[in-house]
Amino acid sequence: MAIRCRMPGTRLSYPMDYRSPSPLSRGKTQTPRAAPIRSIRSIIVAMIVVVFPAQHVSAQGGPAKVVVSPAAVMAVEPTMRLTGTVRPRLRSLVATEVAGLVEELPVDVGDPVRKGDLLCKLRDVVRVAAHEEAVARREELAEICEERRALLSKAEFERKRIAGLFEGDRSTEKEMNDAAADCRAAERRVKQAERALMAQDAVIKVLEDNLRRTEIRAPFDGCIVSKQTEIGSWVDVGGTIVELVDLSVARARINVPESIVDHCTVGDPALVTVDALGEDFSARITRVSPDGDERARTFPIEIDIENPGGRIRAGMFVKAAVPAGKRQERLVVPKDAVVERGPVRMIFVVRDGDSGPAASPIPVTVVSEIEDKVAVEAPGLKDKDRVVVRGNEYMFGPSAVIIMPEEGAEPAKGGKEGGPETTAQVGATP
């Protein structure tokens, strides 16, 4: 850009595109010309960031051992990374089935419980007394039933005796009929006593059930997340005591766009990343809902993640790589081979040069993630190329390396030996 000096009595002129818009562009927003300058500045800063650490590492000396693994061509499905939220496998508002006064509440928020553990106990004095009364009444009815059975046995004996006498003409017909009527009446009285005993047994069962319901127990293994009552409070039938969740299996709920939902089927693998834990979890799609959000045009799917330690908690933010297309042949490398340098992802490829093996950075684009591997697109990367998978955290530029036959072993001559997965040393460039 030319610099113009203003002489006395003259006006300083500016190029049209800096001061005066053209007649055709008046009224329109002008695109700043400084954008290319900022881009160049960003590139220069990135070069400084890359070059300076590389020199710093080289100056330190002392080779660092790294592990390398070959790239391979595999048939993989493209994936799309989507966000979602963790939900518990089970969530229950544990309620009481009988009304009463809360007498014991031995749990608090955050407590783990096992199925059958006591969560709350209601006052049961009246119910215990009613149960004892019903048991005593049953004993009385049982005695009455035994007494009437004894009377029935006596009536049957008398009927048989009169019948024998009547056959020998030593008794009248009236006596025989009276004995038979007494026997039938005794049978009916026995049946009445037995029915009364059965009814009392049913009353006792109801009272015992109500008595058991004064103790509210955990319906499954889980953790208490909220309490809805306290000791001394009155709860009505159906009143909530605590909220219980089961996180033995964390359930990630992801909203999938309609363009790829057809590629997501139950049983497909999915890689779930929990940013709060900094870990990836291999899981599978367990449910795909056919009912979508008609405004967002998304369909919810659920991915179950084994969570034995309970580290994944309800409400955590997750990212999941789910299938997004048909299978294609792609170059696959271990996930640890991909490192980030600012906004750029790259891998370090080890190739033999004139002065020995050297690791060179290659920018990559991650197409899909498959458990501990990723499918990538990278210019210059070929099948069976050796890529650095450990120790690349401190590599920033081309570096001389020495290939090791196995981790911790002595270097092979020329650094050219090694199996499918070997180790390498990063040496300072002379």
**Spatial contact of 334 and 69, defined as CB atoms under 8 Å apart:** yes
263-282 tens-digit pLDDT: 999 999 898 999 999 998 98
Banded model confidence at residue 405, pLDDT cuts 50, 70, 90: low
Pick from 296, 400, 310, 308: nearest CA to 348: 400
Pick from 226, 243, 238: nearest CA to 100: 238
Higher pLDDT, 191 or 351: 191
N-term to C-term CA, the chain: 42
Banded model confidence at residue 166, pLDDT cuts 50, 70, 90: confident
121-146 tens-digit pLDDT: 999 999 999 999 999 999 999 999 99
Q: Which of the 8 DSSP states describes residue 308? A: T
- The rounded radius of gyration (Å) of the Cα atoms in the chain is 43
Query: Half-sphere exposure (CA, 13 Å, Cβ side) for 120?
Result: 31
What is the chain's mean pLDDT, rounded? Answer: 81
E strand spans, 258-327:
269-274, 279-288, 298-306, 317-323
Q: Which of the 8 DSSP states describes residue 293? A: B
Lowest mean pLDDT among 164-168, 213-217, 353-357: 353-357
**Spatial contact of 106 and 117, defined as CB atoms under 8 Å apart:** no
Please determine, for residue 64, whether its predicted confidence score (pLDDT) is greater than 80.
Answer: no
Query: Half-sphere exposure (CA, 13 Å, Cβ side) for 335?
Result: 10
Pick from 399, 383, 388: nearest CA to 423: 388
What's residue 47's pLDDT? 52
Return the percentage of the chain with pLDDT > 90, whole number: 49
Question: Which amino acid belongs to residue 160?
Answer: K
Banded model confidence at residue 309, pLDDT cuts 50, 70, 90: confident
**Spatial contact of 375 and 74, defined as CB atoms under 8 Å apart:** yes
Banded model confidence at residue 77, pLDDT cuts 50, 70, 90: confident
DSSP string, 114-132: -TT-EEEEE--HHHHHHHH
Higher pLDDT, 414 or 254: 254
CATH pick for 59-75+328-427 out of 2.40.50.1070, 2.40.420.20, 3.40.1160.10, 3.40.50.10190: 2.40.420.20
CATH class of 79-89+248-323: mainly beta
Percent helix, percent strand, percent coil in the chain, to nearest 5: 30, 35, 35
Please determine, for residue 86, whether its predicted confidence score (pLDDT) is greater than 60.
Answer: yes
Please determine, for residue 403, whether its predicted confidence score (pLDDT) is greater than 60.
Answer: yes
Higher pLDDT, 252 or 26: 252
Q: Could you say which architecture CATH assigns to the domain 91-122+214-243?
A: Beta Barrel (2.40)
For residue 379, give both structure tokens.
């210019």
Higher pLDDT, 321 or 411: 321
Higher pLDDT, 1 or 240: 240
Question: Which amino acid belongs to residue 368?
Answer: S
Pick from 246, 251, 249: nearest CA to 221: 246
Banded model confidence at residue 170, pLDDT cuts 50, 70, 90: confident
Banded model confidence at residue 244, pLDDT cuts 50, 70, 90: very high
- Which single residue is written with the structure tokens 């006006």? 11
CA triplet 80, 83, 86: central angle to 5 degrees? 130
Give the largest Cα separation in the chain, rounded: 166
Q: How far apart are the C-alpha atoms of 100 and 128, rounded to whole Å?
A: 13
What's residue 389's pLDDT? 84
Q: How far apart are the C-alpha atoms of 189 and 148, rounded to whole Å?
A: 6
Please determine, for residue 66, whether its predicted confidence score (pLDDT) is greater than 90.
Answer: no
Q: Which residues contact 63 (CB under 8 A, 6 or more apart)?
A: 402, 425, 426, 427, 428
Q: How far apart are the C-alpha atoms of 210 and 249, rounded to whole Å?
A: 34
The helix/strand/coil state of 19 is coil
In degrees and rounded to multiples of 5, residue 207 shows phi and psi of -65, -40
Pick from 229, 209, 12, 262: nearest CA to 119: 229
Q: How far apart are the C-alpha atoms of 371 and 77, rounded to whole Å?
A: 12
How is the chain split into domains, by residue range? 59-75+328-427, 79-89+248-323, 91-122+214-243, 125-212
313-341 tens-digit pLDDT: 999 999 999 988 888 888 899 888 898 88
Return the percentage of the chain with pLDDT > 70, whole number: 78
What's residue 384's pLDDT? 86
Please determine, for residue 160, whether its predicted confidence score (pLDDT) is greater than 60.
Answer: yes
What's residue 240's pLDDT? 96
Q: Using a cut of 0.75, tell me whether the model's pTM lies above it.
A: no
CA triplet 67, 69, 72: central angle to 5 degrees? 165
